[in-house]
Structure 1
């Protein structure tokens, strides 16, 4: 019998690896918003981009204590790395629904796309044009609002839109920064 690693052993080693990286970046075991921005090199952003970063932080801060602890961090990594597309789309929907009313309107989407462009520097299309295109493709009842169902069904059924949204909101850079242990100066 060979001594192979079970899936549980591999998962435990991976979690230990991420724990070591996390604790190197935030020895207190809790990442506050300021540290989150600093670790990712996201200081001095315009108001829209800053608002987006804060919203991402607060969504990862599941217990709403003002910090991302290791368990919240692992949950975020799990979503980014292993999450199924519908899980990611539900997360994106929550991120886009700024007022929390259960729908995304054009103003909320323009705001998010403006923020993402400010962070990523991606400007193939203006935020307004991008928003119009998204609504034209997936606002089934043409009411100017996207429900969770419309959003998930619409994005999943349009390969180009799915790819565009996935690339625009790729959070793997968060993981790369922490994995490399690179801390940006404040």
Structure 2
């Protein structure tokens, strides 16, 4: 169990210096603003739990898929302590909002690799597509249609023909066709939501 503490002025300054040194895709003023947002969400606690983070994904980015929201949380939570700290918050948003193509490919693969074994399996594809695709009432067996989509995805992306997607398979496929980046469900914000969220931290806040 991780105990939360109030965020001190020193802790904020340490986080700003640490993040600036890591060269995230934000300027110092933007980092300060993002930490101000973090403090507001957590009520000045140094831990953001899963529910608060899901609220951000749902309210700011219209994400509704429980599986993918959980996986995005895990992608942000790099130390696997079931909380997002200040550094993880800014580092995660750096990729989520402004990541390079390479960073986004690695991030999306991490999200889609549900069990963390380094591969996206048939079962994982099926699970994600089943929750992200809107079922048509006329379909007799929607699962069959999803299975067909899984086979189409494998045929297109499984370069070494081992019936699962390695990072290399996924990487090569997305480089060849960037539209495949979010082929198993929304794990990144659309442009409109991204710009709206960025507008909330463009102006530097005083966070002390």
Distance (Å, rounded) in 1 between the aligned partners of 2:30 and 2:131 = 32
Q: Which residue of 2 aligns with 1:37?
A: 54
Secondary structure of the corresponding residue to residue 116 of structure 2: coil
Q: Give the root-mean-square deviation of aligned CA atoms.
A: 3.1
Distance (Å, rounded) in 1 between the aligned partners of 2:195 and 2:84 = 14
Relative to the length of structure 2, the TM-score reads 0.64
Q: Which residue of 2 aligns with 1:132?
A: 151
Q: CA deviation at 1:97?
A: 1.6
Question: C-alpha offsets along residues 20-70 of structure 1, whole Å, 9 cap, x if unaligned?
Answer: 12211222132101222234448xxxxx94233222212211112221111
Is the contact made by 1:80 and 1:171 (CA closer than 8 Å) also made in structure 2?
A: yes
Q: Which residue of 1 aligns with 2:36?
A: 20
Extract unaligned runs of 5+ from structure 2: 1-22, 135-144, 202-208
Check if 1:146 corresponds to 2:165. yes
Relative to the length of structure 1, the TM-score reads 0.71
Is the contact made by 2:125 and 2:184 (CA closer than 8 Å) also made in structure 1?
A: no
Q: Which residue of 2 aligns with 1:156?
A: 175
Check if 1:79 corresponds to 2:109. no
Q: CA deviation at 1:75?
A: 0.6
Is the contact made by 1:49 and 1:114 (CA closer than 8 Å) also made in structure 2?
A: no
Aligned pairs for 1:1-186 within 5 A:
11-27=27-43, 28-41=45-58, 49-117=65-133, 127-162=146-181, 165=183, 168-171=186-189, 173=193, 176=196
Is the contact made by 2:121 and 2:163 (CA closer than 8 Å) also made in structure 1?
A: yes
Q: CA deviation at 1:143?
A: 2.0
**Shift in CA distance, 41/149, structure 1 to aligned 2, threshold 3 Å:** closer
Question: C-alpha offsets along residues 100-150 of structure 1, whole Å, 9 cap, x if unaligned?
Answer: 2221111111212233347xxxxxxx6434433221211123221111111
